[in-house]
Amino acid sequence: MKRSRQLGFELAILLLATTSFASQLAILCNGFSVRYERCTAVGGVTRLYTGSGYVDIPTAEIDHFELDTPPTARKLAVLLHRLWVSGEVYEPLRNRNQRAMPAAA
């Protein structure tokens, strides 16, 4: 029962981490990318709304759109998967009380 509760907790954290950062990427034809929260197409221009304003880009210059996964969510997903597969218990501060070992003379 304890293992299933821990697994449920890990999955809940994973889902919250991946959905709380709902930004997307517009990949341009020249290889650059623009992170945006929402977009609207007006004529031949696509307006990408970023966190601090908006950017107008010609629609022909946008190659495709992708979902953006932030590095912290990716790292959390890898950590939770490793713990789930190995069965280890996560101890975030396991080395906190250990003192530095003196160097051998």
Q: Is residue 93 part of a domain?
A: no
**pTM (two decimals):** 0.50
SS3 of residue 14 by DSSP: helix
Q: Is residue 2 part of a domain?
A: no
pLDDT band with cut points at 50, 70 and 90 for residue 23: confident
Angle at 63 between CA 58 and CA 66, to 5 degrees: 115
Q: Is residue 50 part of a domain?
A: yes
Q: Is residue 82 part of a domain?
A: yes
pLDDT digits (tens, 9 = 90+) for 62-79: 999 998 877 777 788 888
Q: Is residue 32 part of a domain?
A: yes
Read off the amino acid at residue 65: F
Which of 16-20, 21-25, 49-53, 69-73 shows the lowest mean pLDDT across its residues?
A: 16-20
Predicted confidence at residue 99, as pLDDT, reads: 58
Q: Is residue 75 part of a domain?
A: yes
Which residue range is the domain that position 53 belongs to? Answer: 13-86
Among 67, 40, 68, 66, which residue's Cα sits nearest to residue 55?
40
For the chain, the residue count is 105
Q: Is residue 1 part of a domain?
A: no
Q: Is residue 92 part of a domain?
A: no
* CATH number, residue 76: 2.30.30.100
List the beta bridge partners of residue 54. Answer: 49
Total structural domains in the chain?
Answer: 1
Helix (H) or strand (E) holding 82: helix 71-86
